Amino acid sequence: MSTAPRTTALDAVHRALGATMTDFAGWDMPLRYGSERDEHQAVRTRAGLFDLSHMGEITVTGPQAAALLDFSLVGNISSVAVGRARYTMICQEDGGILDDLIVYRLEERRYMVVANASNAQTVLDALSARAAGFDAEVRDDRDAYALIAVQGPASPGILASLTDADLDGLKYYAGLPGTVAGVPALIARTGYTGEDGFELFSAPEHAETLWTALTEAGAEAGLIPCGLSCRDTLRLEAGMPLYGHELTTALTPFDAGLGRVVKFEKEGDFVGRAALEAAAERASAKPPRKLVGLVAEGRRVPRAGMSVVAGGEVVGEVTSGAPSPTLGKPIAMAYLDAAHAEPGTAGVGVDIRGTHEPYEVVALPFYKRQK
């Protein structure tokens, strides 16, 4: 296997824009085009344009497509209406999280599962293995789609100028096939920024047409291209977990405070059910570490893997940290022992290269948009 990073259909566009590129999960992706804080603020206040073509699309079709996904994932996927989407997870038999996913029901018997780039192969392999005995087909569609996101309060107006699709009728976590700038695209009202916005799945050969049309349509509203660096600070402020940071195979959804995605009430067995029932019980009887927010009193930035300390003891670990452009202070997500996890708990700090830096424990998210 080649170790050269893969490039998206928009690679030449990024280079022409002077993007700083980075290797992300084996893909050569834009990290930022200019100032990542300007890009962050554009998404919060106007609009930003992202190439997310590294995300992994998997199509599941057939008479038992819904049954296969009910068995393979922790959510109640058969209950998702056509044209809607669901945030869910795929777990191991022991309850450990393999990935978090968005599943779109495109037709009665056709779903699109969108996995993180770093886990796409794992998810594909797991779904393929779990499909044994089901009348359903699991297809690797990673090369079939480019994915462009337009995110931010100005994004509905920008997109509306390029499509006849009924965007007002398109709710959060819904997706419909349509035409944007003259090319076919699946228009989804989803995102990972904490803002209103859309994700457009198209054939790779149409990606540049879409990108150019959105850039021009958004120019007046202040839309700018945005890289993965600001995507990370946007999702962190919005309290959204990132696989490999807040979510790992060592944690169940209950450990991550996301037990609500596990639907025990659905019919039939599903992979991980027994282990997850035990995890749910453990979580309610004796809370494990809890995922919380930390806000710095100083200016030094906590990073993933740093210890959270209180009274000279290690009481937790930072999973993600960054300077928050919106709050103007460093913030972090961290797993803390339950005794120190209540918002306002005094005396909590992060060990930043040997210095105890004081931090305030807060509830997530750090930022919630005004609707």
Binds other proteins by CB under 8 A, chosen from 322, 331, 333, 350: 322
The minimum distance between CB 51 and other proteins, in angstroms, equals 18
By the 8 A CB rule, do 142 and 283 touch? Answer: no
Stretch that binds other proteins, among 28-36, 64-72, 132-140, 142-150 (CB under 8 A): 28-36
279-318: contacts with other proteins (CB under 8 A): 299-301, 303
The minimum distance between CB 7 and other proteins, in angstroms, equals 21
| Contact call for residue 233 and other proteins (CB under 8 A) | yes
| Contact call for residue 35 and other proteins (CB under 8 A) | yes
| Contact call for residue 238 and other proteins (CB under 8 A) | no
- How does DSSP assign 235-256, residue by residue? HHHTT---BTTTB-TTS-TTTT
Binds other proteins by CB under 8 A, chosen from 7, 24, 37, 173: 37
Binds other proteins by CB under 8 A, chosen from 11, 28, 36, 195: 36
The minimum distance between CB 36 and other proteins, in angstroms, equals 5
* Rounded Cα gap, residues 185 and 181, in angstroms: 9
The minimum distance between CB 267 and other proteins, in angstroms, equals 45
CA distances from 318 to 82, 300, 327 (A): 39, 14, 18
* Rounded Cα gap, residues 360 and 344, in angstroms: 6
* Rounded Cα gap, residues 123 and 171, in angstroms: 27
* Closer CB to other proteins, 96 or 330, in the complex: 330
- Residues near other proteins (CB under 8 A), total: 16
Number of other residues whose CB lies within 10 A of the CB of residue 84? 17
| Contact call for residue 9 and other proteins (CB under 8 A) | no
* DSSP 3-state of 214: helix
Cis peptide before 365 (omega within 30 of 0): yes
The minimum distance between CB 19 and other proteins, in angstroms, equals 12
* Closer CB to other proteins, 207 or 331, in the complex: 331
The minimum distance between CB 361 and other proteins, in angstroms, equals 21
Stretch that binds other proteins, among 64-72, 172-180, 240-248, 322-330 (CB under 8 A): 322-330
What's the token pair of residue 63?
């008479």
| Contact call for residue 122 and other proteins (CB under 8 A) | no
- How does DSSP assign 4-24, residue by residue? SPB--TTHHHHHHTTPEEEEE
By the 8 A CB rule, do 307 and 349 touch? Answer: no
* DSSP 3-state of 342: coil
- Which residues of this protein are in contact with other proteins, per CB under 8 A? 20, 31-32, 35-37, 229, 233, 299-301, 303, 322-323, 330, 353
